Amino acid sequence: MQTPWEHRFAQRTQRMQSSAIRELLKLTALPDIISFAGGLPAPEVFPVEQFKEACNKVLCEHCDIALQYGTTEGYQPLREMIAQHSTRMGIKIKAENVLITSGSQQALDLLGKIFINPGDRILVEQPTYLGALQAWNAYGAEYITVPSDEDGMITSELNHALRMGPKFIYVLPNFQNPSGTTLTLERREELIEIAGNFGVPIVEDDPYGQLRFEGDHIPSVALLDSCQQPDNGHYTGNVIYLGTFSKILAPGLRLAWVIAPSEVINKLVQAKQGADLHTSTFTQAVAYEVGKSGFISEHVKTIQSIYKERRDVMLRSLEKHMPDGVQWTHPAGGLFLWVTLPETMSSLSFFEAAIQEKVAFVPGNAFFPLGGGENSMRLNFSNSCPEKIEDGIARLALVIKKQFA
C-alpha cells in the first residue's frame, strides 16, 4: 500500500526492499532453534579479560583521545600496527595505505560510493557474499558472475566475463563466504594476470584468512600482486584488500580496515567523512591495546582449534546422516560450508519444515545475484557447540530425506 512516505524514497532504494530471505532469517532467531544460518563467531572465544584490561588502560591513560572526535583515517597507532603486521606478512605498506572502517561492511559501502555509477557492473564469484550485494545494490550496481568450484572462482572463465567491462572484481579467496572454498595459488596468479591485462582492479575481501585449520597458508592476492609492482617505496598495484577484527577479536567492536594505494585511501576518506566522520576512537584504542603486544596471533590459535573441532563434527555428522545425492564442501578454515542437493531440489521449499524441526540454514539462492542456487544452502559451524552441530545436522538430514521420499 502506498503510504505518505513511500513515494518519497529515492529510486535506488527500490533495490533495498526487505527480501524474502531476510524475512525467513527472522525465523532463525526463534528460541530452541539450532541455527546454522548466521555467520557469528563463537562467543566462547571473545578475549574478555584482555578487553577488560584494555578498557581500563585506555580510560586511565588515553581518555582525552579515546572519547574525543578522531581523524577520519583512523587511530594512528592502530593504522601503524596494521601496516607493520601487513609488512611482516609481505605487503609493504605504510600507515597512509590503511583506512580504519566500521566493519568491512562499511568498506564495501564506501567502495560502492566511490566507484559505482548506476548501471556499472561488478564481477563477483557465484555464489558470493550477500552483504556485498546489499551494499552495492544501493548504488545501482549490476553484476557479472563467474562460477566457482572446490578451488574457488574458475579463473579460466574470467576473460569472457571481463569483456563485459566490470568496474572491479570482487573475490573472497580464503574459506569463502558462503562456499567455504579457497582459491588456489595458480588461480590467484591467473586472476592477477588477467585482471591486469584488462586494467580492472581487484577487491580482495579476507575476513577469515587467519582462520586456517590445516594445510599451508596461501599468499593473499594483494601480496602476490604487490610483488609484481616496482619497489618505489609506495604501495601501488591493482588490489584493494579488506581485513577485519570481527573474526579474530570480536564483531561487536565493528572494526575493520582497507589496504589500498594512497590515492584510493584518500578518496575513501572523503567518502567516509560524509558517511560517519570516523570509526569509534574508543573501540579503536581498545583494539590497539589488546593487539599491540602480539596477543592476536596467539589468540587466533585458540579460535582455530575450536572452529576446527566444530567443522570436523559437522563434516562427520553430514557423512553420517545425509542421504546419497547430497554433497558438501570441505573448508580448510573459516566459518562456513556449502551443501549442494540434487538439481531438482530447492532448499527454500523445505526451509519452513526445517524451522519446524528447530534447525535453520541460509537458502543458497541468496548468494546468487542473477538467480540460481536453489539446490544449495550455507551452513555455519562456528557458532554452535559440537553437540548441537551433531543434533542439528541429524534434524536437517531428516527434513531432507523427507524431500527425497
Range 270-289, binding its own copies (CB under 8 A): 270-271, 273-283
Q: Residue 308: is it exposed, middle or buried by C-beta count within 10 angstroms (0-12/13-18/19+)? A: middle
Residues 19-38 that bind its own copies (CB under 8 A): 38
Q: Which stretch binds its own copies (CB under 8 A): 109-117, 151-159, 340-348, 357-365?
A: 109-117
SS3 119: coil
Closest approach of its own copies to the CB of residue 403, in Å: 31
H or E stretch covering 339: strand 336-340
Q: Which three cell numbers stand for residue 275?
A: 558517511
Q: Which stretch binds its own copies (CB under 8 A): 56-64, 88-96, 146-154, 189-197?
A: 56-64
Q: Which stretch binds its own copies (CB under 8 A): 102-110, 149-157, 298-306, 384-392?
A: 102-110
The pairing of beta strand 152-153 with beta strand 98-101: unpaired
The answer to whether 139 contacts its own copies (rule: CB under 8 A) is yes
Residue selected from 180, 207, 243, 261 as contacting its own copies according to rule CB under 8 A: 261
Alpha helix (H) residue ranges in 329-385: 351-356
- Give me the residues paired with residue 57 across strands: none
| Site track for its own copies across 310-339, x = CB under 8 A | ------------------------------
Closest approach of its own copies to the CB of residue 306, in Å: 15
Residue selected from 20, 63, 185, 370 as contacting its own copies according to rule CB under 8 A: 63
Residue number, 13 or 156, with CB nearest to its own copies: 13
Closest approach of its own copies to the CB of residue 258, in Å: 13
d(CA 398, CA 402): 6
Q: Which stretch binds its own copies (CB under 8 A): 76-84, 127-135, 314-322, 397-405?
A: 127-135
Residue selected from 3, 232, 293, 344 as contacting its own copies according to rule CB under 8 A: 3
Q: Which stretch binds its own copies (CB under 8 A): 58-66, 90-98, 340-348, 393-401?
A: 58-66
Closest approach of its own copies to the CB of residue 38, in Å: 7
d(CA 315, CA 114): 41
The answer to whether 306 contacts its own copies (rule: CB under 8 A) is no
Number of C-beta neighbours around residue 60 at 10 A: 8
Residue number, 55 or 353, with CB nearest to its own copies: 55
Query: What would you report as the CA-atom Rg of the chain, rounded to the nearest whole angstrom?
Result: 21
Residue selected from 35, 37, 51, 158 as contacting its own copies according to rule CB under 8 A: 51
| Site track for its own copies across 149-188, x = CB under 8 A | ------------------xx--------------------
The answer to whether 17 contacts its own copies (rule: CB under 8 A) is yes
H or E stretch covering 376: strand 376-380
Size of the site for its own copies (CB under 8 A): 79
Sheet holding 256-259, edge to edge: 98-101, 256-259, 239-244, 202-205, 168-171, 121-126, 142-149, 152-153
Residues 218-247 that bind its own copies (CB under 8 A): 246
Show the beta-strand stretches assigned E in 116-254: 121-126, 142-149, 152-153, 168-171, 202-205, 239-244
- Do the beta carbons of residue 180 and residue 39 sit within 8 Å? no
Residues 191-210 that bind its own copies (CB under 8 A): 201
Closest approach of its own copies to the CB of residue 224, in Å: 19
SS3 68: coil
Of 173, 178, 210, which is closest to residue 190 (Cα–Cα)?
173
Closest approach of its own copies to the CB of residue 158, in Å: 19
Q: Which three cell numbers stand for residue 60?
A: 586511565
